[in-house]
Chain A
Amino acid sequence: MDDSKIIELFFARSEQAISELSDKYGRICSSVADNILNNKLDSEECVNDAYLAVWNTIPPQRPDPLLSYVCRIVRNLAVKKYHFNTAQKRNSIYDAALEEIGDCFPSDLSVEDEIESGEVAKAIDSFLEGMDKQSRILFVRRYYYSDPIEELAKMFHTSRHNISVRLSRMRKRLKKHLIKEGVLL
């Protein structure tokens, strides 16, 4: 079903909207939550919470595209739950992705973190804008959706080594870009 029709169902307050949303995007939502939480029950709960959040926000929202809207909610909820659940414990997939990219960012941000993080986000967007589509997708899949290296290798039909090398080069370029944009001094 088209996104616009699903959104119309939400506007009509039809419960079919949830099942259509789940049929269409349930798999990727579960994958996003599970990559972060590494726990089937938690991720299922997280995805259900996300559906409820979508139900509560549409209307008045009319997101376009719907997919990234739902994924963003799932990710935010999963990250919150992750910090609540694990505190100092490590989660292999999510933490591994964050640790990898951690070196690209300043280690001692102390002033106006909120504003600064907005600047960093803008810089990341402009970095993505300058990349070719293939690299951009690889970057977002790894660092936003936290897909494991092995999954990415299958997804792009190549070896894990190849994916690791490409990601490593992208991180180097990101670091250079952040320095150029004045985010990293």
Chain B
Amino acid sequence: MKKEKISECIGQINDKYLYEAADFSADADLDMKIPQNAVTKKARATAVIIVAAAVAITISVAAVIATTAHRNNSGPPTYEEKIASDYVDDYIPTEKDKVRTEYRTELNNKLDKLHQENGLSYGEASEQVLLERISEIADILKKYNKVDSGFVFRGIDDNVTGIRAACELLNSSESLTVRETVVLEDYLEDGYFTLRELGGHDDLMNCIKDTVHVRYIDDR
């Protein structure tokens, strides 16, 4: 179909949807934000409370010391602390945060490169990057013998087995590198949306819930 005709079809979208989209602001409606790390409402509420408390008390040296001491005593920051830490100045990114940022940047750079240099649309570039990611995930799962040799990755959209294997692997993460952990978590984040869209697979939901990634199904 010619572009003009496609544009005409799209141009006839119902008024109510145009209004809904034009009037939209994710800032005004927190539930409409797409979670980068699937932040739960509870985590978000906790983060807001922590930030409010931090502002009220005024950041002082004592508070910084106390925060540092707390962090040192209790190991890596909890998820809530990590979210809250986005709002305070003294947050020190963990190695995983740094790797995650690098990984995200790497994906975005690949997208840009494919779009700008190879002339692919962002949709096509995204598909290509997705295939590369699947191959990377497959390598990790195979390395830890979590999938059969004959297992074929057909794509994240229907890769229920891969998601289950990744969950199990993360649950016993002592042998994973930081990079591998980040890649699998990123994969599970996509898997979360996919599963929600599929609207089924209760056994798998329970499997994920019982292992590590409760947050992925929290607002199902």
Chain A residues at the B interface, C-beta cutoff of 8 Å: 28, 65, 67-69, 71-72, 75-76, 79, 83, 95-96, 98-102, 105-107, 109, 113, 117-118, 120-121, 124-125, 128, 133-134, 136-137, 140-141, 143-145, 149, 155-169, 171
With A117-B8, A156-B26 known as contacts, the answer to whether A100 contacts B121 (CB < 8 A) is yes
- Cβ of B5 and Cβ of A67 under 8 Å apart? no
Chain B residues with CB under 8 A of A100: 121-123
The SS class assigned to the B binding surface is helix
- Cβ of B107 and Cβ of A161 under 8 Å apart? yes
Q: What is the interface size of chain B, counting residues whose CB is below 8 A from a CB of the partner? A: 47
- Cβ of B3 and Cβ of A159 under 8 Å apart? no
Chain B residues with CB under 8 A of A79: 7, 11
Contact of B20 among A136, A158, A166 (CB under 8 A): A136
Contact of A137 among B20, B35, B36, B197 (CB under 8 A): B20
Residues B1-20 near A (CB distance < 8 A) = 1, 3-20
Chain A residues with CB under 8 A of B123: 100, 164, 167-168, 171
19 A-B pairs with CB atoms under 8 Å apart are: A28-B22, A67-B23, A75-B11, A96-B121, A96-B122, A101-B6, A105-B5, A106-B1, A109-B1, A109-B5, A121-B13, A133-B32, A140-B18, A144-B18, A157-B36, A158-B34, A165-B130, A166-B193, A169-B157
Closest to B30 in A: A157
- Cβ of A134 and Cβ of B34 under 8 Å apart? yes
- Cβ of A141 and Cβ of B193 under 8 Å apart? no
Chain A min CB distance to B136 (Å): 14
Indicate whether B70 reaches chain A with its CB closer than 8 angstroms: no
- Cβ of A83 and Cβ of B4 under 8 Å apart? yes
- Cβ of A68 and Cβ of B6 under 8 Å apart? no
- Cβ of B126 and Cβ of A141 under 8 Å apart? no
- Cβ of A143 and Cβ of B10 under 8 Å apart? yes
Interface string of B166-207 (1 = CB under 8 A from A): 000000000000000000000000100110010000000000
Closest to B104 in A: A159
Chain B residues with CB under 8 A of A166: 34, 193
Chain A min CB distance to B39 (Å): 10
With A113-B5, A140-B18 known as contacts, the answer to whether A157 contacts B122 (CB < 8 A) is no
Indicate whether B96 reaches chain A with its CB closer than 8 angstroms: no
Chain A residues with CB under 8 A of B87: none
